[in-house]
Chains A and B, each alone.
Chain A
Amino acid sequence: GAVVSQHPSWVICKSGTSVKIECRSLDFQATTMFWYRQFPKQSLMLMATSNEGSKATYEQGVEKDKFLINHASLTLSTLTVTSAHPEDSSFYICSVAGNYEQYFGPGTRLTVT
């Protein structure tokens, strides 16, 4: 399967600032990537589907202007949380679409103070 990394693994930022999370596919051409958010003791909620070279498709209720996704290459997708607020504190996980399964990154813990 694909090896997927995320950076940073955890980040603390102040309310009102922006933070960028990187998702890299180390050994697999990632045409499609997914971004999820997971609150404590809850399951993964799909935020958006990211396709290389085109605009991301956001799930209902996810603000595209707040969660900016860029997927400019087959190895890198980024999620930028703009004007972060404490309610954006969560575990953000990316995944790479394989032939039939998804390969998950290790996740990024975001805390907004």
Chain B
Amino acid sequence: GQNIDQPTEMTATEGAIVQINCTYQTSGFNGLFWYQQHAGEAPTFLSYNVLDGLEEKGRFSSFLSRSKGYSYLLLKELQMKDSASYLCAVSISGGYNKLIFGAGTRLAVHP
């Protein structure tokens, strides 16, 4: 079966740093994605990791350890607009870039 775990909710303060963890056990692995989703809207792409290590993109960084089945999304200099759900998704093998999503982490950023 496919299993992707991430915390349900997190809170943080504006200007701070927050790390959202994701662990996975899937049949095959073709890369790991992080998406941001505001309520009532479609997910927007944040990052993609296929090799171990850290990928940095502005205020957002994502880390992957394939041997541990573990990833995290790091958000720096938090802004109020970062309040959203963050979805961890694994692309599994077998063609068509099929994605399996975790349940999502709802992040609330407070002043």
Q: Which residues of A contact B (CB under 8 A)?
A: 1, 32, 34, 41-46, 49, 51, 91, 93, 97-98, 100-107, 109
Contacts and interface: CB of A to CB of B under 8 A. Distances in A.
Contacts of B42: 93, 104-107
Contacts of A41: 106
A102 B98 CA distance: 9
Nearest to B99: A102
Contacts of A34: 96, 98-99
Contacts, number: 54
- The main secondary structure of chain B at its interface with chain A is loop
A101 B103 contact: no
Nearest to A41: B106
A100 B87 contact: no
B41 A97 contact: no
B100 A46 contact: yes
